[in-house]
Amino acid sequence: MNLILIALSAVLVNNIVLTRFLGICSFLGATKKSSSAIGMSLALAFVLIFSGVLSYSLYFYVLVPLGLGFLRLVAFILVIASLVQFVEMFIKRFVPSLYKSLGIYLPLITTNCVVLTVALDVAAVNGVVPSYDFVTMLVYVAASAVGYGVVTVLFSYIQERMAVNNVMPKAFQGPASALLVAGLMAIAFLGFKGMI
């Protein structure tokens, strides 16, 4: 039950894009076409799960026992950057068809703040004990990826429709109307607030 609550809260209530304002660059930048939005979300989900597991283990099994907890920001960003490189090389070598569809989105993920924030979230402590145990952490990370994917793909469908029916005044064309649409989506997601 607790796991379901964590998952629902990460997908709908505390949605990582619309409520916590993370990953806005890719949310606005990579959503002109639904195919690129889907590619971006899949690549992000892939990296997010690995980086969540790695940062969690690194923080609680290496940094904290050594008394180096304050170095977590430097450690996590290095883990994420090298992980992205590694995933890219691995996919290129073993799953070339996947590389063709995800390849260009992977390097962008290094500077996607979703990955770093989720890594920092799973390394949160409640006193001295970790706030998430390993399974809860996995659920939370996967749910964050789903939350990002749902919103990004929905948003890209709206953007596609808007590109066809161009009725916006000149000043609102481009980023301004995209931001307003995101605002309306955020109002819709505000409705989930009472759920938990």
**Given the rule CB under 8 A, which residues bind another protein?**
18-25, 28, 70-71, 73-74, 77-78, 81, 110-113, 116-117, 120-121, 169-172, 174-180, 182-184, 186-187, 190
Closest contact distance (angstroms) between CB of 1 and another protein is 27
The minimum distance between CB 41 and another protein, in angstroms, equals 17
Cβ within 8 Å of residue 175, ≥6 positions away: 28
Residue 39: CB minimum distance to another protein, A = 20
Q: What interhelical angle do 113-122 and 34-57 show, nearest 10?
A: 30
CB closer to another protein, 66 vs 171: 171
37 vs 116 by CB, closer to another protein:
116
Q: DSSP string covering 31-89, please? A: -SSHHHHHHHHHHHHHHHHHHHHHHHHIIIIIITTTT-GGGHHHHHHHHHHHHHHHHHH
Provide the 8-state DSSP code for 115: H
Instruction: Pick between residue 96 and residue 174 the one whose CB is nearest to another protein.
Output: 174
Q: Which is nearer to another protein, 5 or 124 (CB)?
A: 124
Name the minimum Å distance from CB 97 to another protein. Answer: 28
The smaller minimum CB distance to another protein, of residues 6 and 113, is found at 113
Beta strands in 53-186 (DSSP E): 125-126, 129-130
What is the closest distance, in whole angstroms, from the C-beta atom of residue 95 to another protein in the complex? 25
Task: Give 154's DSSP letter.
Answer: H
Which helix H or strand E contains 108, and what residues bound it?
A: helix 106-109
| Residue closer to another protein, measured from CB, 77 or 153 | 77
Residue 174: CB minimum distance to another protein, A: 8
What is the sign, positive or negative, of the torsion defined by CA atoms of 178, 180, 186, 187?
negative
